[in-house]
Amino acid sequence: MEQQQKTLITLTFFLALLGITLIVISLATDNWVESNPLTIKNGTSDVDHSRKSDVNFGLFRGHRILDYGFGQRESALTVTCEASEGVCVVYPDTVTLPASEYIHSVLYNVVNNTNNINNTDSTDDEPLYRKGLFNYGFWVTSIISAAFSIVFGLIAMGFAIFNICGKPIETITGPMGLYLWNGTAFLFALLDMVMFLTLFLTSLQKNFLLQEDVDKFVLTEKTNLGYSFYLVPAAVVMYLVNIILLVCSGYKLKCSFGSEAEKVVDNGMILY
């Protein structure tokens, strides 16, 4: 039975490693959102299927090629946020106006002709996506959750090694620790997935372009979640499988010292 437990705990080590790797890759890649916007013909409601555009971006940066009707224009993208305003924008490097100034100009309807920013009148109840903005809270929570999932995944790996190679005395270093750290990593990975999915469904799927580009392209049904996002639910599954393996190993949550600890104390010795 003890050998079976060690085998299953060894599996939790490698699955936690895989979960961490998946989240790291998702953060490092720029394909959380992928889109092929269709250009709207000038003065009509029809779309021009001959115009090819391609956009992809992640939590920090991205790349786009947009065809406004007179040739493709390529630019790098950066996700920029104004925490004080609670909003973010996917900002192309082709715009000379600093992103923070652009955000304020959109929020407060300031027309900046020098930088060719053509802001339209908007009301306070207009959805953020119509302004080319999205919620800062969802975005930052997604990043923080991913970071904590990595941290607790590493802790779970460390405790797995300790349980395989050593003889844990305290509850937190034994079964409870294995459940706790894997469970916490699972919850943070799940929160990461839920936060970004909510952000996508409420804003990014409807529009991620600047305010002046909203009516120039059709994004509905042309914008999808990319592979970078799907690595997160895969990590969620890895941590969940770890918890299931711990249950299958026969490890139970006990809030007491083990018999091995009592034996050591009886001999007048303390091991660290």
Give residue-wise pLDDT tens across range 18-49. 999 999 999 999 999 999 998 887 766 677 77
Instruction: Specify if 7 maps to a domain.
Output: yes
pLDDT over threshold 50, residue 9: yes
- DSSP states along 190-234: HHHHHHHHHHIIIIITT--S-GGGGGGEE-TTTEEE-HHHHHHHH
Confidence of residue 116 (pLDDT cuts 50, 70, 90): very low
Mean pLDDT rounded to a whole number for the chain: 83
Q: Are 181 and 155 in contact (CB under 8 A)?
A: yes
Q: What is the pLDDT of residue 182?
A: 94
Q: What is the pLDDT of residue 142?
A: 97
For residue range 198-236, what is the model confidence (pLDDT) as tens digits?
999 999 999 999 988 888 888 878 899 999 999 999 999
3-state secondary structure (DSSP) of residue 16: helix
pLDDT over threshold 70, residue 254: no
Q: Where are the beta strands (DSSP E) in 41-101?
A: 47-48, 54-57, 61-67, 72-82, 87-92
Instruction: Specify if 230 maps to a domain.
Output: yes
Q: What is the CATH number of the domain that holds 196?
A: 1.20.140.150
What's the whole-number mean pLDDT along residues 67-93? 91
Q: What is the pLDDT of residue 119?
A: 43
Q: Tabulate helix, strand, coil % of the chain (nearest 5).
A: 50, 15, 30
Cα–Cα distance for residue pair 21/158, rounded to 1 Å:
15
For residues 164-180, b (16+ Cβ closer than 10 Å) or e, as one string? eeeebbebeebbbbbbb
Q: What is the DSSP letter of 121?
A: P
* Portion of the chain with pLDDT greater than 70, in percent: 81
**In terms of pLDDT, which residue wins out, 102 or 116?**
102
How many domains does one find in the chain?
A: 1
Instruction: Pick the range with the lowest mean pLDDT from 111-120, 177-186, 253-262.
Output: 111-120
Instruction: Specify if 270 maps to a domain.
Output: no
And the tokens for 123?
């009301």
User: Could you tell me the pTM of the whole model?
Assistant: 0.82
Instruction: Specify if 80 maps to a domain.
Output: yes
For residue range 138-182, what is the model confidence (pLDDT) as tens digits?
999 999 999 999 999 999 999 888 887 877 655 566 678 889 999
Instruction: Specify if 272 maps to a domain.
Output: no
Instruction: Specify if 267 maps to a domain.
Output: no
Instruction: Specify if 129 maps to a domain.
Output: yes
For residues 131-141, b (16+ Cβ closer than 10 Å) or e, as one string? bbbbbbebbbb
**In terms of pLDDT, which residue wins out, 253 or 213?**
213
Instruction: Pick the range with the lowest mean pLDDT from 47-51, 129-133, 172-176, 239-243.
Output: 172-176
Instruction: Specify if 85 maps to a domain.
Output: yes
**Range of 174's domain?**
2-262
* Portion of the chain with pLDDT greater than 90, in percent: 52
Q: What are phi and psi of 147, to 5 degrees?
A: -65, -45
Cα angle 41, 46, 48; round to 5? 55
Cα–Cα distance for residue pair 54/38, rounded to 1 Å:
9
Burial class (CB in 10 A: 0-12, 13-18, 19+), 122: middle
Q: How far apart are the first and last CA of the chain?
A: 26
